[in-house]
Amino acid sequence: MPKTGIHWFRHGLRLHDNPALVACQDEVERFIPIFIFDGKSAGTETCGYVRLRFLLQSLQDLESQFKEHGINFMCFHGEPHTVLENLIKEWEVRVISFEKDSESIWRQRDNLVKEMCARHNVQVIECVSNTLYDPEEVFSLNNNQPPNTCEELRKSCYKIGDPEQPVPKPDLKFIATHLVSTDNLYDPVKHKIPDLEFFDIKPENEKQKECLFVGGETKALDLCKIRIQYEKESFKSGKLNPNLSKPVLFTKEVSLSPYLRFGCLSVRKFYWDLKKVYVKNFNGVKNLYCPVEQLFWREYFYQLSYKNEKFAQVDGNPMCFKIPWDYHGKQDLFLKWETVKKIFYL
């Protein structure tokens, strides 16, 4: 039986700058890329029509890139540790790789998978590529605490140095020609990407049927080139952060947020592309943090949430201060807020 490896896609829905995928490919004789619909991963627990469509389009784009080289991309349904354990037994999988998820809400899911792999003596490859910096390294420089301000994060990052460079895309042609085929494992019905009808999620209105953001790595890289050119022209004219003076949140030619969120575009690639064009084209007084300011804000919130499982709520969240609006049952503070009176609550 050939040494078999699985790369488990979650958020990092791309081939470029995917170090876990590349490491898995280098370790095995048979390579299988998969996605698991568990009702939670990639935001599927609370997503609506638009977000789910974007996810499915992103998976279809991955499938298309693999299929072009004769590689089968497979989808499964169920709890990840159960699905993967069944595949380990059925296909004698020896290596499982995935991108390290920097949100603490996924830690239990990943720990269950790691514990299961340890029981079966399966190698786990987990690499950081969702954030510019490894949260563990940032925490170690901050007394095992999250940075309380973006400035604290910058100080930690300054000690670490520049983020790692993005890794090249895997050689799919090499995988297809040198590794063992998975055609005998692939079931085009059982392993297909489901459509929107499968999830019974419908658009809330007619406008949602319009596809403003087309999901997928291919589209993300095209838009990244347009965005870098947009920034380049701004730098040449002596301006920084053109979005501050001319916001374009809903213009797909320059908006990359959903692609960064789903990992269709590597944040490290975007960082280095932006930094290089800034150094080459901006003639004013250079501050290397300025062109990537918004990326550091993204980084800051990922670092804040890394070990905080209650980051998305108020109750029990150490980052939040809960104001007792219904003070002594009189709603005094709420009424003051409602009538725009000042509240000093320390």
User: What is the model's pLDDT at position 40?
Assistant: 83
**Structure token pair of residue 290:** 């300025």
Characterize the bridge pairing of strands 74-77 and 30-37: parallel
Crossing angle, helix 49-67 and helix 217-236, to 10 degrees? 100
**Structure token pair of residue 79:** 């709890």
User: What is the model's pLDDT at position 346?
Assistant: 41
**Structure token pair of residue 124:** 């786990």
**Structure token pair of residue 176:** 């297809």
Taking CA atoms, 1 is separated from 28, 63, 92, 193, in Å, by: 11, 25, 8, 27
Determine the Cα–Cα distance for residues 305 and 288; give it in Å rounded to an integer: 25
Phi, psi at 4, each rounded to 5°:
-105, 135
For residues 333 and 220, the model is more confident at: 220
**Structure token pair of residue 12:** 């990092």
What mean pLDDT is reported for the chain? 88
CB 75 within 8 A of CB 194: yes
**Structure token pair of residue 193:** 């990407």
Count, residues in the chain: 346
- The pLDDT tens digits for 164-176 are 999 999 999 999 9
Q: Residue 60 above 90 pLDDT?
A: yes
Determine the Cα–Cα distance for residues 47 and 201; give it in Å rounded to an integer: 9
For residues 112 and 313, the model is more confident at: 112
Average pLDDT of the residues in 126-135:
95
Determine the Cα–Cα distance for residues 165 and 271; give it in Å rounded to an integer: 9
33: β partners: 7
CB 69 within 8 A of CB 172: yes
Q: Which residues contact 168 (CB under 8 A, 6 or more apart)?
A: 16, 22
Determine the Cα–Cα distance for residues 47 and 70; give it in Å rounded to an integer: 32
Phi, psi at 290, each rounded to 5°:
-55, -50
- The pLDDT tens digits for 148-165 are 888 889 888 889 999 999
User: What is the model's pLDDT at position 250?
Assistant: 57
**Structure token pair of residue 215:** 């999901």
- ∠186-38-133 over CA atoms, to 5°? 100
Q: What is the pTM of this model?
A: 0.89
Average pLDDT of the residues in 89-110:
93
**What one-letter code names the amino acid at 276?**
K
Average pLDDT of the residues in 230-238:
86
Q: Which residues contact 50 (CB under 8 A, 6 or more apart)?
A: 203, 208, 213
Taking CA atoms, 283 is separated from 92, 227, 235, 272, in Å, by: 58, 20, 8, 18
Characterize the bridge pairing of strands 93-99 and 4-9: parallel
CB 184 within 8 A of CB 25: no
CB 307 within 8 A of CB 157: no
Lowest mean pLDDT among 113-117, 204-208, 262-266, 327-331: 327-331
Q: Residue 344 above 70 pLDDT?
A: no
**Other Cβ atoms within 10 Å of 125 Cβ, number:** 19
Determine the Cα–Cα distance for residues 85 and 214; give it in Å rounded to an integer: 33
Q: Residue 113 above 80 pLDDT?
A: yes
User: What is the model's pLDDT at position 248?
Assistant: 61
Residue 336, judged by CB atoms within 10 A of its CB (0-12, 13-18, 19+), counts as middle
Phi, psi at 95, each rounded to 5°:
-140, 135
9: β partners: 35
